[in-house]
Structure 1
Amino acid sequence: MDIKQLQYFVVSVDMGSFSSAAEILITTQPNVSKTVKSLEEELRMTLLNRDRSGVTLTKQGEIIYNYAIEVLKNVKMITDFTSESQMDKLSICSIPSNAISSILSKFYNEKSKDKEFRIDYIECKIEDMITSIHKRESELGFIYISKKNMSAFNSFINSKGIKFYEIKKLPLYLYVGRENPLYGKKYINEHDIGNTKLMQYYEDQYSLYNYLEHLKKEIFFNKGQSNICYTNSNHFLIQSLKNTKYGSISSSFIENEYIEKNISSIPILSSENSVSFGYIKRSKGKLSTIAEEFISYLKEQIRLNGYKE
């Protein structure tokens, strides 16, 4: 028994006749019929009923057909794996970020000129990111964490065999559009944000939660009097900033994304005004060469684009 016999048998069943199967398989009708017949003789079973209208499965044929489908699926998986194993793969998960996706696309454009490689890029919640790294589904996860969260975060991920590596400390900014009365200010302090409604990413709720709680504890987190909304949509966040009085607190890493959208970035003067941007990876084992190259490229892009400390 070989793969060709199973393939010809399955296609014949799916197409309903040997002649239609021959067209799909780019061969002749007698060759398909002969190959399927050899399978039946080898198994000592009649797998197909044959008549002028075509072919149909016998009871035994139905059982063998289901087995053959699974065999062919597994063969394809092995073939795909063999093909993929010969190609470098960069698997990344990240908090929602146009900056990361933009830098990643530029990295691929430059590196793919010399060698072909595959990118798996997923934006997700930090909890899902940790799971993905832990299960070896992703190699790198990019996040930013507030000072107040750092100790607890490191303890949590260390227990899962994961470590955080800081790339740069970044200040926090308030981003607002023209509808917000703070638009155009050169800087603000914590008290200036007191009456500002905020629109935050879900990931910011995790990474900046303690900072925001410290900043506006009574306003933001009192039930029934919340002054903060959350979204996982970058498009909705941008439209909210452009067309409403909503503001958003985030790091300077996204400052360049908003310049052309008439959204003002205002530094927040505070002793707690920085977050650590970096990546998580499994504690044991070295990164792949392509992952190390991307981290170096990312650091260089951050330096060239002047993200502020």
Structure 2
Amino acid sequence: MELKQLEYFIVVCEQGSFNRAAECLYTSQPNVSKVILSLERELGRPLFERSPRGLRITPYGRTVREYARVVLRHTAIIRSMADYGWGKKFSLATYPSNMIAHLLADFYTHWQERYVVEHYEGTVEEVSGLVARGQAELGIVYVAQRQLSSFRHILSHKKLVFQPLDVKEACIYVGPHHPYYVRDSIDFSQLSSQRFIGGVHDYFAVEHHLERVSLGAISTRDLNYAMHSNSDHVIISALLHTDLCSLGLNFMHQPYSHYDIKTLRINGCEPFLTIGCIRQEGEPHSEAADWFVEQFRQLL
């Protein structure tokens, strides 16, 4: 059995026909049919019922589909862990952050002759999953202090450890088109009248913790979200060119504040978000990871 057979099989399942699958795979319909038929012969059972009305996956085919997806997902993980032709690889996963993007540029300047960098962005769950699977050596996340105990418990099952670096309060990021751009702070009571752009839905996201801050001064149900995106570029563009604002951590290192975006302090908001790094338990740290953590700590 070849991976190509499983890849073709999954695409046919998704497209529902050999013709559409062939278009997605940039090949011919007879070639797709040939690959699927060879897989069926090897397995000894049909994966699809063929009729003039089209393809219909068999119950056996549905079972094979689930296992094929697991195999292809794990294959992608193994491929992502491969070393490049020269230099060592430093891989990390982080929440979306323009400051981290610039720190990675500094990393390249410092280590360009010794390391190739591989960077992923995602939610807290996605970052911890990447570190647990070995796709990332280091993860950078933030978690509410009240969640630290349960968060560490979740990480322990994945054989991961969390190293706190600092505690920050939440803030509002605004661009030049926001009416509060000329201000330095905002009250909790004024948040409900703002229009927000937010990241992907994440249990550990800032929005889920605000209702516990300052004795429940605001509920997340009162926040008006006009847009969601997991792209840092989209969020920055929205802040620069619209009246949308976003929730974030209240720190912006000056050398990295080159965008016309400013932070508004939330009056009465105490520090409650712990920012830190995730690593695999018992695994040795590379000098690159230690350098990155120390530089990030200095920025904080």
Contact 2:84 2:116 (8 Å CA) reproduced: no
Structure 1 segment 208-287 matched on structure 2, within 5 A? 208-214=206-212, 215-220=218-223, 227=225, 229-254=227-252, 256=254, 259-287=257-285
* 1:208-238: CA deviation from partner (whole Å, max 9, x where unpaired): 1332344323324xxxxx5463211222212
Gap change, CA 1:228 and 1:149, over 3 Å in 2: farther
Counterpart position of 1:166: 164
2: CA distance between counterparts of 1:147 and 1:279?
14
* 1:73-132: CA deviation from partner (whole Å, max 9, x where unpaired): xxxx9xx97986x843211111111211211221221233xx422211112232222221
Gap change, CA 1:282 and 1:258, over 3 Å in 2: closer
One-letter identity of the residue aligned with 2:110: E
One-letter identity of the residue aligned with 1:277: I
Counterpart position of 1:117: 115
Counterpart position of 2:180: 182
Structure 1 segment 10-49 matched on structure 2, within 5 A? none
Matched, 1:102 2:105: no
Gap change, CA 1:184 and 1:204, over 3 Å in 2: farther
Contact 2:197 2:228 (8 Å CA) reproduced: yes
Gap change, CA 1:123 and 1:269, over 3 Å in 2: same
Aligned mate of 1:133, from 101, 119, 131: 131
TM-score (norm 1): 0.61
Gaps of 5+ in 1: 1-76, 221-225
- Secondary structure of the corresponding residue to residue 261 of structure 1: coil
Gaps of 5+ in 2: 1-77, 213-217
Root-mean-square deviation (Å) = 2.9
Measured after TM superposition, the shift of residue 273 of structure 1 is 4.0
Moved over 4 A (4+): 80-84, 254-259
Gap change, CA 1:146 and 1:174, over 3 Å in 2: same
1: CA distance between counterparts of 2:84 and 2:261?
46
Contact 2:238 2:244 (8 Å CA) reproduced: yes
- Secondary structure of the corresponding residue to residue 227 of structure 2: strand
One-letter identity of the residue aligned with 2:108: Y
Measured after TM superposition, the shift of residue 279 of structure 1 is 0.8
Contact 1:147 1:272 (8 Å CA) reproduced: no
Counterpart position of 1:71: none
* 1:220-274: CA deviation from partner (whole Å, max 9, x where unpaired): 4xxxxx5463211222212222332211110134465884433231111234444
2: CA distance between counterparts of 1:281 and 1:212?
27
1: CA distance between counterparts of 2:286 and 2:162?
17
Q: How many residues end up aligned between the 2 structures?
A: 216
Counterpart position of 1:91: 91
2: CA distance between counterparts of 1:177 and 1:290?
34
In percent, how many aligned pairs have the same letter? 21
One-letter identity of the residue aligned with 2:169: P
TM-score (norm 2): 0.63
One-letter identity of the residue aligned with 1:98: N
Counterpart position of 1:9: none
